[in-house]
Amino acid sequence: MSGRRGILGLIGRLGRRVGPGRLLAGGLLVLLLLVRIADPPPVEALRVRTFDALQVLAPRVPPAERPVAIVDIDEASLKEFGQWPWARTRLAAICGKLQEAGAAIVAFDIVFSEPDRLSPPLLAETLPDLSEAARADLRAQPDSDRVFAEAIGRMPVVLGQTAASTPVAWTGEGPPPQTGTAVVGTEFDPDRALIGFPGLIRNLPVLERAAAGRGVFTISPERDGVVRRVPMVLRAGGTVVPTLALDILRVATGADTLLIRTDDTGVVSIRLPELTVPTDPRGQIWVRFSPHDPGLYVSAKDLLNGTVPPDRLREKIVLVGTSSVGLLDNRTTPLDRSMPGVEIHAQLLENLLTGATLTVPNEATLIEAGATAAVSLAIILFAPILGALGLLLFGGLVAGQLVFLSWYRFSTNGILFDATFPLLTTFLVYLTLVFTNYFREQTGRKRIRAAFGRYLSPALVEQLALSPEPLRLGGEERRLTIMFSDVRGFTAIAEFYKDDPAGLTALMNRFLTPLTHAILDRQGTIDKYMGDAIMAFWNAPLRDEAHEHHAAAAALDMLARMDALNAARRSEAEAGGHPVLPLDVGIGINTGSCVVGNMGSDLRFDYSVLGDPVNVASRLEGQSKLYGVKIVLGAATADAIRDRYPVLELDRVRVKGKQEPETVFTLVGDEDFRSSAPFARLAERHAAMIAAYRARQWDETRAATDACRALAQDLAQGLRIDGLYALYAARAEAFLREPPPADWDGVTVATAK
């Protein structure tokens, strides 16, 4: 009893938290998803009828030069040559005519499992009241089945076989000829994976041995009597056998063996030389049909009478079958209520030869269930925000996208995606929300607004109805690029405005605003403002694969905006006749692995970043004053951008609070300057200066600074680095007077942050 009360209590708490309507809609969604995964016959029937509708809307367009033709034992042929079955000698004549016509391969959508009852030797034994002379004459004539076998052996012929519901014994000597199969992949159990039949009705042994191939032509319609899928391989008579179309292609490609690729779900594909046939896990493919086409057919009567045009069958795969209604070989397809089975095989061959087959990915169930869950959950989650009309518009928009996606994948890639189940599920979820939750949710939201509207901002009031989990404390480790910027000489500026705090505030807003825009315009995140300083970072919360480049571009834009601001302030000062203090900014940029997320206390927290790279970036900004440059880069940032941006090494520095030295760099221009000849000359001389300095070659260092200073005249005004070369010249002069100790490693120890 206590357990039952606990469950009911949990449901009650959930209902109060998310609302009974949303809870009920979520339960319905889970139930419908389980139904989709189980895939009972009604759900499958709905899905395949959706696929049928796609085929009706956009049937396959046959190729202009059709690779397949059908010799039809039609009503006219039966009327002229008599009822079926025909004598095997007439079938041998068909083979001969097709060989003369230049057919590439001949395949029979017919099985010849019994001897020809009109064969002369058989008639000699079965006809009563024959004289001995007549019997001897019949026995002397060739056996019709052997005549047919000889005709089969003179060209590539594939014979049809049919699956049987009971075992059928092989009557020939030795094992029956069969196509070899090899399995590549996970362990394969054909009894479990493939469509199976207890027996296989083969042709007469003399015919089977004469044929180049043999395949099963059995076509099994689905529960509603429509043919949509045809197996490529199946299990019949205790062995794995190909279907007629597949063995035709095997003969056409000259392969001896069919390579069946499998995985844990079943069959994945069947491979032949230069041809791979993707299948579903049961070895089937979906046929993309075109409407019944009489142009595929050549009457057997016309072929035997020699009235078929000479090139009509040349180099084609020719299927011999029947369209006669009396022979009961017609089937229903998504496009035709009655299509001869032989034409289904012909269309299947065209599908395989032109790559026009339809595909239902093995993961289709998961994709459709995922789409259903995503859309339905979106409707459930956004129901309180959108309201009934907004929810209807949202559902209509999503429904249109799902229908378009289904149509697009079908029409462009031949991929079947079922939009019906996601649409039906989301519609039922929508109805559940509307009829059980809409008014309750709206009433609850009105109560919240009335109770808290006078105390909280509108944004916080709305947030009360949503889950707070995304704003909880914690963070994740991620590689970030961090920037610190600071206005130089701000103490003097503050002193200048000591009697005008409002003016100082306006000035701060005036320079912080363009700097902020420069960062935000390049996917940066503002962490915080610290007086006149800005801390920002890239690659969080949104991923940014080019975060180092965006930080560099932002730094250059910040300098350009500061130049524009200073120019505007000078013009204003000249017009007003008062002095102006120019604003100058130093920037430090570093890249490394940090922890980023919501940090603080349970009462208040901010989205921020922590880690050693943050501290280093702050120290680098401070070094910009020492080296007389505007931008100081850490080594990781410089390495990431040097392929696109002009970067020069500054020094090896042991910043305050760090034991290991950092190699620091500066950015001296944009991407265009990186590829210019002036930068190439400057970079070469600059590297020589650094090398001479570390080699204790003070005269060479001093000379190199002069050369670099001359070459650096090509830099933009806001990126001049004259101070850097003055620093190295002064160092060289000092070391000439008093050389460094013997263990000097070229590292500069920073004494200030």
Domain with 292, as residue range(s), is 68-176+190-254+284-354
Beta bridge partners of 686: none
229 vs 452: which has the higher pLDDT: 229
Lowest mean pLDDT of 301-305, 391-395, 524-528, name the range.
391-395
Q: Cα–Cα distance between 706 and 717 in angstroms, integer?
A: 18
388 vs 418: which has the higher pLDDT: 418
The number of angstroms, rounded, from the C-alpha of 742 to the middle of its chain's C-alpha atoms is: 61
Cβ atoms within 10 Å, residue 101 = 22
Residue located via tokens 């399995």: 183
Give a yes or no: residue 271 inside a domain.
no
Query: Rounded to the nearest 10 degrees, what angle do helices 88-100 and 144-153 cross at?
Result: 20
* pLDDT, tens digit (0-9, with 9 covering 90-100), for 452-483: 333 233 443 354 434 333 344 567 899 999 99
* Amino acid 460: pLDDT: 34
* Amino acid 420: pLDDT: 84
Lowest mean pLDDT of 92-106, 298-312, 419-433, name the range.
419-433
* pLDDT, tens digit (0-9, with 9 covering 90-100), for 104-157: 999 999 999 888 887 776 776 677 776 676 666 666 677 888 999 999 999 999
Domain identity same for 435 and 527: no
Please give the share of the chain, as a percent, with pLDDT higher than 90. Answer: 41
Lowest mean pLDDT of 12-26, 302-316, 687-701, 710-724, name the range.
12-26
Domain identity same for 137 and 238: yes
CA dihedral 298, 304, 306, 310 (to 10 degrees): 50
Q: Residue 486 above 90 pLDDT? A: yes
252 vs 124: which has the higher pLDDT: 252
Domain identity same for 522 and 409: no
Domain identity same for 402 and 431: yes
Domain identity same for 439 and 334: no
Tokens of 100: 């003369």
Cβ atoms within 10 Å, residue 16 = 10
Q: Residue 36 above 90 pLDDT? A: no
Distances 280 to 41, 119, 260, 364 between C-alpha atoms, Å: 18, 44, 12, 11
Task: Count the domains in the chain.
Answer: 3
* pLDDT, tens digit (0-9, with 9 covering 90-100), for 695-715: 999 999 999 999 998 888 877
Q: Cα–Cα distance between 405 and 368 in angstroms, integer?
A: 12
**Cα-atom radius of gyration of the chain, to the nearest Å?**
42
Distances 239 to 166, 179, 218, 651 between C-alpha atoms, Å: 14, 10, 16, 77
Q: Residue 448 above 50 pLDDT? A: no
Residue type, 54: L
Residue type, 643: D
Q: Residue 289 above 50 pLDDT? A: yes
251 vs 449: which has the higher pLDDT: 251
Task: Name the domain boundary from 319, 354, 389.
Answer: 354
Band of pLDDT at residue 165, cut at 50, 70 and 90: confident
Domain identity same for 42 and 89: no
Domain identity same for 572 and 425: no
Mean pLDDT for the stretch of residues 543-570: 93
Determine the longest span between alpha carbons in the chain, in angstroms. Answer: 142
Q: Residue 4 above 60 pLDDT? A: no
Domain identity same for 45 and 89: no
Task: Name the domain boundary from 323, 354, 385.
Answer: 354
* Amino acid 403: pLDDT: 85
* Amino acid 474: pLDDT: 62
Mean pLDDT for the stretch of residues 573-593: 89
Answer yes or no: are the C-beta atoms of 219 and 227 closer than 8 Å.
yes
Q: Residue 214 above 50 pLDDT? A: yes
* Amino acid 656: pLDDT: 73
Task: Name the domain boundary from 449, 480, 504.
Answer: 449
- pTM of the predicted structure, to 2 decimals: 0.55
Domain identity same for 559 and 520: yes
